[in-house]
Amino acid sequence: MCGIIGYVGDEAAAPIVYQGLENLEYRGYDSAGIALVNGARATGDVAADGGLTVAKRSGEVSNLTVPDAPDATCGIGHTRWSTHGPPTDANAHPHVDCAESIAVVHNGIIENHEALKAELGDHEFTSETDTEVVPHLLESELSETAGGDAVDLRTAVERVVDRLEGSYAVCAIHAGENRIVAARDGSPLVVGHGEDAAFLASDVTAFLEHTREVTYLEDGDVVDLSADGDVEVFAPSDDAASDASVPDSSASSDANAFLSRRPVDRSVETVEWEADAAEKAGYEHYMRKEIHEQPTALRQTLSGRVDVDRARVDLDVSFPEALLERIEEVQIVACGTSYYAGRYAARLIESFADVRTTVEIASEYAFGAGRDPDRTLTIAVTQSGETADTLGAIRRADSAGARTLAVTNTLGSSVTRAVDDAVFIRAGPEIGVAATKTFASQVTTLALLAVALGRERGTLSASRARSVLENLRGLPGAVQQALDAEADVVAAAEQYRDEDAFFFLGRDLGVPVALEGALKLKEIAYDHAEGFPAGELKHGPLALVTDRTPVLAVLTEGGSPAETMTNVTEAQTRGADAIGCVSADREFGTLDVAFEVPDVGLLEPLVANVYFQLFAYHVANEKSRAIDKPRNLAKSVTVE
């Protein structure tokens, strides 16, 4: 969490950094700040006074007063989701050293900050953050000399980051230098290459309107961006990594104890996302835009991957034949909405590929006893590819020796480096904190994977595969049909907005959708909402049902509709109103509100989910909630 942006070039940095912060605000919005190297743009140099200008404050980016500094051409910015220290002005980034000549922004957690702080006894700290040790450590390093010469900023950053434990992406600027030095380990950082300019950010959306030429940095990298836009990347060299490992802190002044880094070439890639895909196109909220983008996103997810006639799927990954033959378990690890997508997919994989499939919340995952890693495929499902909990889980699977696969929306993300293979869901950028289109695209991608595994393992007949693939191809049109009925959902949202609680019910493939529907309502409307397997209602939760607790049910193909309706009726008997998403060829006359789901077989619950998304959106909108930035949340959760 937290968003970082940096710019150095020949234009005024403040507006570019500020725009970048607005683009990154989905990553956190507790506080924001900017630091600039006071500049003399006419000469392309720094100002004679050689100072920094820092502006920061708590609240959303729009609360920030941008420094009027047309001559400053180098700057960094940060938007924060609090981990250490509450969202106050003092805890906002950038943080500076005692002399206010070094400014640092940081994403991640520095676990040994207390120990480091103790060493810096004579330095004055002004915040409660873990980050603040970094500028002070840099100050100490820069005050040293190496063979009579002053220590260079890059050397100082290298020395400091090698002492940090935890995860970080840090960017530093230094008064008197139009230059940014940054490093990453465990948190995302990407470089953008402009014309006579360079960018740094947590995510490409920060600078997509300026350039699409990017370099994804790897863990351990230190990058040096100079005033003319030159980018140099330094990576720990293999020899040093193997013999020196982690230096102990007592030897911190001995340069030889640090990792030695060498210049490396990191490839430049072109991002295909459109800049405007990350803009709002006049919608009031990203979330509603993204809900409406689902037909397009799903067509992209499917594009070129489905061959109905041959009953084949091409996902551009190939598993070793031996693994496919001997596989005993598929494990899915994920968090939040991605976890529910995993739950949906697990049923499909188990059924199509005839292999035991388990789904685990990533933060709870361990490679349990009694399993053979050689016969295990572990799949990490994460929209951002940076979710710390999921990264941790997939690394545990990897070190246990399992085959690993990532299903993600983000090219170049950390998860793609941590796994053997990656499959992209191609949903396009998602900015709303509440995931919508990426859920649909994740389930669709995993369903394709289920068909691929079933076909390759010979457990799924061609005719069954064909019918599933035809249903998948029918999904974009079916979702469009649900979107066209939005006015009916608005009416239901208006009718039920003030109820005490909402219970979502489903069976089978309807269970993950019920859970996801409840999560959406919690996230953006702050209403009490719970999802249950419908059969469980009578084993406890029914005690909560009153005439002020509507139930929302998945009554479609793939969700045992008749049985589910029995449970819905139990709730209705206790006075609750019932809203159902019903297959086109069925009718449940006793529902208070019914939404029609077109015939797409086992994917019908996924269309029901679109109605739940719209319901949550419109209930939240009726209550004027901050839909794209729900309180206490952030999109890309890069801490554990």
Dihedral (CA of 249, 251, 253, 259) sign: negative
User: Is 110 within 8 Å of 136 (Cβ atoms)?
Assistant: no
Considering the candidates 2, 74, 171, 335, report the single residue annotated as catalytic.
2
Fill in the per-residue mask, 379 to 398: x = in contact with other proteins (CB under 8 A), - = not in contact. --------------------
287 within 8 A of 436, measured Cβ to Cβ: yes
Closest CA to 3 of 64, 74, 88, 94: 94
Query: Least distance in Å: CB of 554 to other proteins?
Result: 20
Give the nearer residue to other proteins in terms of CB position, either 274 or 372: 274
**Structure-token pair, residue 78:** 């940060």
112: contact with other proteins by CB under 8 A:
no
Is the distance from CB of 517 to CB of 550 less than 8 angstroms? no
Tell me 567's DSSP state: H
* Gyration radius of the chain over CA positions: 26
Burial of 281 (0-12, 13-18, 19+ CB in 10 A): exposed
> Does 94 sit behind a cis peptide bond, omega within 30 degrees of 0 on the bond before it?
yes
Which position among 212, 395, 473, 586 is part of the footprint of other proteins (CB under 8 A)? 473
Nearest Cα to Cα of residue 327 among 454, 500, 438: 454
Applying CB under 8 A, among 93, 292, 347, 437 the residue interacting with other proteins is 292
Nearer to other proteins, 308 or 626 (CB): 308
Question: Which region, judged by CB under 8 A, interacts with other proteins, from 81-89, 287-295, 375-383, 493-501?
Answer: 287-295
Q: How far is the CB of 303 from other proteins (least distance, A)?
A: 5
Choice between 547 and 585, CB closer to other proteins: 585
* Shortest separation between residue 490's beta carbon and other proteins, angstroms: 13
Q: Are 294 and 440 in contact (CB under 8 A)?
A: yes
Burial class (CB in 10 A: 0-12, 13-18, 19+), 192: buried
Q: Is position 314 an interface residue for other proteins (rule: CB under 8 A)?
A: no
C-alpha–C-alpha distance, residues 411 and 428, integer Å: 11
Q: Which of 90, 257, 308, 544 binds other proteins (CB under 8 A)?
A: 308
Q: How many CA atoms lie within 13 A of 88 on its CB side?
A: 9
Number of residues this chain uses to bind other proteins (CB under 8 A)? 31
Instruction: Choose between 82 and 471: whose C-beta lies nearer to other proteins.
Output: 471
| CA dist., res. 557 & res. 355, Å (int) | 23
Stretch that binds other proteins, among 64-72, 179-187, 291-299, 344-352 (CB under 8 A): 291-299
Task: Tell the smallest beta-carbon distance from residue 377 to other proteins (Å).
Answer: 28
Q: Which of 127, 260, 296, 363 is close enough to bind other proteins by CB under 8 A?
A: 296
- Whether the CB-CB separation of 478 and 598 falls below 8 Å is answered with yes
DSSP states along 207-231? TTTT--EEEE--TT-EEEEETTS-E
**Of 24-32, 296-304, 371-379, 569-577, which segment contacts other proteins by CB under 8 A?**
296-304
Residue with smaller CB distance to other proteins, 66 or 308: 308
Positions in 477-496 near other proteins (CB under 8 A): 477-478, 480-481, 483-484, 486
CA within 13 Å, CB half, 497? 18
Among 77, 598, 605, 630, binds other proteins (CB under 8 A): 598
Out of 56, 520, 629, 635, which one is annotated catalytic? 635
CB of 481 to other proteins, least distance (A): 5
Site string for other proteins, 543-582 (x = CB under 8 A): ----------------------------------------
Q: What is the sign of the dihedral through the CA atoms of 622, 626, 631 and 634?
A: positive
With tokens 């952030």, the residue in question is: 634
Beta carbon nearer to other proteins, 401 or 477:
477
The least CB distance from residue 301 to other proteins, in Å, is 11
Contact partners, residue 605, CB within 8 Å, separation at least 6: 344, 506, 509, 510, 512, 513, 554, 556, 558, 559
Q: How far is the CB of 73 from other proteins (least distance, A)?
A: 24
Q: Shortest Cβ distance from residue 311 to other proteins (Å)?
A: 13
Nearer to other proteins, 320 or 477 (CB): 477
Who's near 451: CB < 8 A, 6+ residues apart? Answer: 313, 352, 460, 465, 468, 469
Please indicate whether residue 2 is annotated as part of the active site. Answer: yes
Q: Which of 28, 100, 37, 38 is nearest to 58 (CA)?
A: 28
Stretch of 136-144, 293-301, 366-374, 518-526 lying at the interface with other proteins (CB under 8 A): 293-301
Least distance to other proteins from the beta carbon of 228, Å?
Answer: 28
**264 to 283: interface string for other proteins, x by CB under 8 A:** ----------xxxx-x-xxx
d(CA 237, CA 240): 6
474 forms part of the interface with other proteins (CB under 8 A) = yes
Q: Binding segment for other proteins among 164-172, 386-394, 469-477, 615-623 (CB under 8 A)? A: 469-477
Query: Residue 437, exposed/middle/buried by CB under 10 A (0-12, 13-18, 19+)?
Result: buried
Which of 121, 148, 304, 370 contacts other proteins by CB under 8 A?
A: 304
User: Annotated active-site positions, please?
Assistant: 2, 635
Site for other proteins, rule CB under 8 A: 274-277, 279, 281-283, 289, 292-293, 295-296, 299, 302-304, 308-309, 473-474, 476-478, 480-481, 483-484, 486, 596, 598
